[in-house]
């Protein structure tokens, strides 16, 4: 959002380049930005606190959701009022591929960030490795992501169409996330390597396609805001669902520990952290605690399965337009 605010300059602004500072300041969507930022903060806090810090029925959580809803309505109204000077110009967002691309990108970002965040925790808690070692064991996901991002990018420039890769991305993401959600305390090395490769393949095939799509379906003057919108959707999707995943993980871990390990306070285990389980938990209780941890992490993986599957709803509505004859610039993804 800050990127849009400071770096996006619509055509109308070029026409007022020599205007006074008041006229130029009026080109910025200060009102929309001032509504959008607290709106997102309210949503993230509600998702983070609900069910863990406070019950879902708590007045603070309800108030956060109510304020979020009011600000969302206000933000949408402001965008229609400001039109081309809005943070998210309606005429661009209503373009079929851009709207579908935002849904796809948000779900891809959500699935990717949830997995990248919780997979290392699984290695630390279940396999008993250090934070550095858990990062090393996550390399198969990253390598397959990078490799298939490059392969899909090159192939799109050759055949001209990106939509098949977006659909394939949703399929492989969902399959990979589903396979990762089958993890248990005895999952073998071959499985956790192979499953990461499948998931990384799906993310890699789709990560750059929204950038290519925006540059293909939009007029040249609208490309900067179009690419910013779809990439921002990817980031905000990740931020929102990391909070969702954290909430699910915390609540599930507490309930699992209460059910299986009665001699240790669930809050002690939660405060201990994944890397210190072996040093804090008595050896006799460690297997049960690891089973509880595994169940909590797998439940967060279900979030990735759900959003990866939902990404298909966006992927199938992308227009089949050729990139040939277009000057395409690639950028960083999630």
The Cα–Cα gap between 303 and 244 comes to: 8
- pLDDT tens digits along 71-105: 989 988 887 887 766 677 788 888 889 999 999 99
Say what the pLDDT of residue 296 is. 93
What DSSP line would sit under 106-166, residue for residue?
HHHHHHHHHHHHHHHHHHHHHS---HHHHHHHTHHHHHHHHHHHHHHHHHHHHH---HHHH
What mean pLDDT do residues 293-300 have?
94
What mean pLDDT do residues 64-76 have?
90
Domain 91-334 coded CATH 1.20.1250.20: yes
* Angle between the N-to-C axes of helices 163-180 and 286-315, in degrees from 0 to 180, rounded to the nearest 10: 160
Supply the pTM of this predicted model.
Answer: 0.83
DSSP code for 275? G
- pLDDT tens digits along 207-264: 989 888 988 888 888 888 888 889 989 999 998 899 899 889 988 988 888 887 777 7
Say what the pLDDT of residue 20 is. 59
**What are the tokens at 48?**
């983070």
Non-local (6+) Cβ contacts of 175 within 8 A are 198, 199, 202
What DSSP line would sit under 156-209, residue for residue?
HHHH---HHHHHHHHHHHHHHHHHHTT--TT--HHHHHHHHHHHHHHHHHHHTH
Better pLDDT: 20 or 190: 190
What mean pLDDT do residues 15-30 have?
57
């Amino acid at each position: 959002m800050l990127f849009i605010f400071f770096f996006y300059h619509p055509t109308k602004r070029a026409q007022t380049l020599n205007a006074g500072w008041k006229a130029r300041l009026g080109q910025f969507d200060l009102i929309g930005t001032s509504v959008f930022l607290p709106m997102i903060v309210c949503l993230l806090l509600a998702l983070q606190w609900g069910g863990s810090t406070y019950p879902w029925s708590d007045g603070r959580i309800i108030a956060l959701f109510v304020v979020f809803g009011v600000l969302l309505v206000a933000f949408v109204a402001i965008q229609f009022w400001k039109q081309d000077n809005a943070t998210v110009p309606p005429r661009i967002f209503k373009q079929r591929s851009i709207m579908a691309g935002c849904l796809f990108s948000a779900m891809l970002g959500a699935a990717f960030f949830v997995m990248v965040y919780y997979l290392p925790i699984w290695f630390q808690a279940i396999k008993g490795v250090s934070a550095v070692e858990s990062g090393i064991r996550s390399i198969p996901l990253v390598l397959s992501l990078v490799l298939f991002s490059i392969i899909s990018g090159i192939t799109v420039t050759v055949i001209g169409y990106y939509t098949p890769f977006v659909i394939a991305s949703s399929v492989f993401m969902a399959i990979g996330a589903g396979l990762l959600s089958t993890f248990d305390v005895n999952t073998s090395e071959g499985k956790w390597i192979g499953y990461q490769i499948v998931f990384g393949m799906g993310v890699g095939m789709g990560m750059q396609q929204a950038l290519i799509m925006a540059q293909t379906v939009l007029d040249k003057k609208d490309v900067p805001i179009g690419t910013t919108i779809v990439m921002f959707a990817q980031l905000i999707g990740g931020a929102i669902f990391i909070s969702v995943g954290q909430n699910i993980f915390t609540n599930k871990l507490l309930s699992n520990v209460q059910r299986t390990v009665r001699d240790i306070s669930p809050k002690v285990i939660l405060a201990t952290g994944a890397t210190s389980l072996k040093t804090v938990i008595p050896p006799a209780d460690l297997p049960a605690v690891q089973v509880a941890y595994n169940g909590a992490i797998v439940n967060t993986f279900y979030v990735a399965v759900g959003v990866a599957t939902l990404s298909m709803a966006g992927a199938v509505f992308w227009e089949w337009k050729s990139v040939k004859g277009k000057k395409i610039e690639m950028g960083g993804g999630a």
